[in-house]
């Protein structure tokens, strides 16, 4: 509920403080007194886009502050929480407009953007009038209005869920197709490379092992000839044979040398033992260094093959095994791609079917709600002297989306046989006002309270019993909430629970607008003025008292 509105230096308002009440609040006054300025100022603090020049002439800046009561569960609390703003039972909006056009807004003393103010305003205030494109006249919101009337939140949530699943399934299918196409483009390369790598079967660390073996065999090849010559020199054809013959000769002569050869024979025997040990070591070395030349060729061939494939695939030789696994996996993905693609296509078909079923159920529910809404509006139009008018909620096909496959528009036909058209294009000013009022009465019965409703001259073009019917419906709307109505109708004004008169005053060359709360005598005089004009007659006062008496 809007509790207070404080306006300073806006257009022709110097300073104005208003304290609004629950129920039906009426604002009256002569044409040009400044009633529309009040709405412009309220729209300014709510972040609505309106007049560019709002600051009172001569002032440095204009300022508007609005105070709202927020009961528990009010949707504005969710907006505050999402925006990281302090909440509570009271909401204070303040916005300043400097003379050079800069606008700054605050919510509970926290600076905010105009967008945050507009989001809050959607939960706080509804403006209904002949030029209101934010409310029921704007066809963009007709589908949401119908869904709210029909209590279709669960059906809409199911459609949104199905739409999300559908989008995910389609995205997965697109990605699967793209991946398969990319793999298909290199299929020949993959199959050749995988076969080549599998045939070679590279192992981690194999490059270093082969290189060491190759170097060893190359080194052995160079020194083995020298070792073999040394082995031959130590063998029977060399030192071993010569020493053996010498020992045999000395042993044959020792008996005749009177012992003088005993020591040389013993030394030579020891030398023969050492020589034998040396020969065995050289032979062992030759055996250890022995290799088949074909082993060197095989080793070099595999080493060069490993390094050649590494260069071909731009990886290190030790990474060939891992690279082979990657290419094999890609090839397996290609082979399994068709099956996966078929699975993705089945998933899309199932998701489409789920969405279509949910959307069809929502369409059916909307059609049922539309029929109920049309009947309810028709019942409201009769007391408003529009019993021959036809209100129709038109539901047409629309592109599939998260809210279903329906486009919704409220249409009217004001005369029998006349074609139906958009609400804001067919009805005249007075008819439009009554259509809006009838529609709002029906919607409020289903949607409950919590929003301050403002009706800007919604009774224009009607009078007498019709104006009385308009007033009674406004009063019914305000019974459990708050309604502000700017009116020129005495019948409507008489039904208000609270009454303010907007006045324009001229002091010198300065024009200002003010608002006066009316007590019962002043209220009687204001309604009499509305009935008779500038000259208030006794008959007008009597008529005013009758209206106020109900």
Q: Residue 427's pLDDT is what?
A: 61
Most confident of 124-128, 145-149, 182-186: 145-149
Q: Phi, psi (5° rounding) for residue 57?
A: -60, 130
Distance CA 83, CA 3 (A): 23
Q: Residue 353's pLDDT is what?
A: 96
- Average the pLDDT over each of 16-20, 135-139, 198-202 and give the range with the smallest value: 135-139
Q: Look up the pTM and report it.
A: 0.63
pLDDT of 208 above 60: yes
Q: Do the bridges between strand 90-98 and strand 61-69 make them parallel or antiparallel, or are there none, so unpaired?
A: antiparallel
Q: Bigger pLDDT: 141 or 450?
A: 141
Q: Are 94 and 45 in contact (CB under 8 A)?
A: yes
Tokens found for residue 284: 């062992």
Tokens found for residue 47: 């972040």
Report the DSSP beta bridge partners of residue 63. 8, 96
Q: Residue 129's pLDDT is what?
A: 64
Tokens found for residue 352: 């489409």
Q: Are 477 and 25 in contact (CB under 8 A)?
A: no
Q: Residue 337's pLDDT is what?
A: 74
Q: Residue 58's pLDDT is what?
A: 82
Q: Residue 105's pLDDT is what?
A: 93
Q: Residue 506's pLDDT is what?
A: 81
Q: What is the dihedral of CA 471, 473, 479, 481, to 10 degrees?
A: -100
State the average pLDDT over residues 357-365: 97
Q: What is the mean pLDDT of the chain?
A: 86
Q: Residue 113's pLDDT is what?
A: 92
Q: Residue 429's pLDDT is what?
A: 63
State the average pLDDT over residues 469-490: 88
State the average pLDDT over residues 432-448: 74
The model's pLDDT over 392-429, given as tens digits with 9 standing for 90+, comes to 999 999 999 999 999 999 988 887 777 888 876 766 66
* pLDDT > 90: percent of the chain: 35
* 61-69 β-sheet, strand order: 13-19, 2-10, 61-69, 90-98, 103-107, 110-112
Q: Bigger pLDDT: 183 or 58?
A: 58
Q: Bigger pLDDT: 141 or 416?
A: 141
pLDDT-derived band of residue 178, with 50, 70 and 90 as boundaries? Answer: confident
The model's pLDDT over 221-234, given as tens digits with 9 standing for 90+, comes to 667 777 777 778 88
Q: Residue 52's pLDDT is what?
A: 66
Q: Residue 440's pLDDT is what?
A: 83
State the average pLDDT over residues 259-279: 86
Which of these, 20, 101, 22, lies nearest to 67 by C-alpha position?
A: 20
State the average pLDDT over residues 443-472: 77
List Cβ neighbours of 47 (8 Å cut-off, separation of 6 or more): 95, 105, 114, 115, 116, 117, 118, 120, 121
pLDDT-derived band of residue 133, with 50, 70 and 90 as boundaries? Answer: very low
The model's pLDDT over 511-529, given as tens digits with 9 standing for 90+, comes to 888 889 999 999 999 999 9
Q: Phi, psi (5° rounding) for residue 392?
A: -135, 130
pLDDT of 501 above 50: yes
Q: Bigger pLDDT: 156 or 122?
A: 156
Distance CA 246, CA 180 (A): 88
Q: Are 206 and 306 in contact (CB under 8 A)?
A: yes
Report the SS3 class of residue 92: strand
Report the DSSP beta bridge partners of residue 106. 94, 111
- H-type helices in 46-141, by residue range? 75-82, 114-124
pLDDT-derived band of residue 115, with 50, 70 and 90 as boundaries? Answer: very high
The model's pLDDT over 35-72, given as tens digits with 9 standing for 90+, comes to 778 888 898 999 987 676 788 888 889 999 999 999 98
The model's pLDDT over 73-111, given as tens digits with 9 standing for 90+, comes to 899 999 999 999 998 899 999 999 998 888 999 999 999
Which of these, 407, 405, 371, 406, lies nearest to 391 by C-alpha position?
A: 371
The model's pLDDT over 303-347, given as tens digits with 9 standing for 90+, comes to 888 888 889 889 998 888 888 888 888 777 677 777 888 889 999
pLDDT-derived band of residue 159, with 50, 70 and 90 as boundaries? Answer: very high
């Amino acid at each position: 509920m809007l509790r207070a509105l404080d306006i300073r230096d806006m257009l022709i308002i110097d300073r104005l403080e208003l304290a609004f009440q629950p129920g039906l609040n009426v604002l009256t006054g002569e044409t040009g007194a400044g009633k529309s300025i009040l709405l412009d100022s309220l729209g300014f603090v709510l972040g609505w886009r309106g007049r560019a020049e709002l600051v009172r002439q001569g002032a440095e800046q204009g300022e508007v502050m609005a105070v709202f009561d927020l009961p528990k569960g009010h949707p504005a609390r969710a907006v505050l929480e999402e925006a990281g703003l302090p909440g509570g039972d009271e909401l204070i909006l303040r916005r300043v407009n400097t003379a050079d056009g800069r606008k700054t807004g605050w919510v509970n003393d926290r600076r905010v953007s105009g967008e945050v103010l507009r989001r809050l305003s959607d939960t706080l205030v509804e403006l209904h009038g002949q030029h209101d494109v934010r409310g029921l006249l704007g066809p963009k919101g007709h589908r949401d209005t119908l869904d709210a009337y029909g209590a279709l939140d669960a059906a809409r949530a199911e459609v949104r869920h199905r739409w999300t699943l559908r989008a995910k399934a389609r995205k997965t299918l697109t990605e699967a197709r793209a991946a398969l196409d990319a793999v298909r483009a290199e299929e020949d390369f993959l199959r050749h490379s995988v076969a080549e790598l599998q045939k070679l079967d590279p192992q981690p660390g194999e490059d270093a092992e082969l290189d060491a073996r190759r170097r060893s065999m190359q080194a052995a090849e160079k020194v083995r000839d020298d070792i073999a010559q040394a082995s031959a020199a130590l063998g029977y054809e060399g030192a071993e044979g010569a020493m053996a013959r010498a020992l045999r000769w000395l042993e044959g002569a020792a008996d005749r040398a009177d012992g003088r050869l005993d020591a040389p024979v013993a030394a030579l025997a020891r030398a023969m033992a050492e020589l034998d040990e040396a020969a065995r070591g050289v032979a062992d070395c030759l055996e250890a260094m022995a290799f088949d030349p074909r082993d060197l060729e095989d080793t070099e061939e595999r080493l060069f093959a490993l390094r050649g494939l590494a260069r071909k695939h731009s990886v290190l030789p030790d990474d060939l095994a891992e690279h082979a696994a990657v290419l094999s996996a890609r090839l397996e993905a290609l082979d399994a791609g068709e099956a996966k693609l078929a699975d993705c296509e089945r998933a899309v078909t199932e998701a489409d079917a789920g969405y279509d079923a949910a959307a069809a159920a929502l369409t059916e529910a909307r059609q049922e709600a539309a029929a109920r809404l049309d009947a309810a509006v028709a019942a409201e139009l009769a007391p408003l002297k529009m019993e021959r008018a036809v209100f129709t909620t038109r539901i047409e096909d629309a592109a599939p989306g998260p809210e279903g496959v329906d486009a919704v528009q409220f249409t009217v036909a004001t005369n029998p046989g006349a074609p139906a058209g958009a609400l804001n294009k067919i009805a005249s000013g007075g008819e439009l006002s009554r259509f809006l009022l009838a529609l709002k009465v029906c919607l409020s019965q289903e949607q409950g309270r919590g929003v301050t409703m403002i009706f800007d001259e919604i009774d224009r073009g009607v009078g007498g019993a019709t104006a009385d019917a308009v007033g009674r419906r406004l009063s019914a709307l305000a019974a459990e909430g708050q309604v502000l109505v700017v009116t020129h109708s005495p019948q409507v004004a008489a039904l208000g629970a609270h009454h303010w008169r907007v006045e324009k005053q001229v002091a010198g060359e300065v024009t200002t607008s003010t608002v006066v709360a009316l007590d019962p005598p002043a209220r009687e005089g204001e309604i009499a003025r509305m009935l008779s004009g500038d000259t208030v007659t006794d008959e007008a006062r009597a008529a005013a008292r009758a209206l106020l008496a109900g």
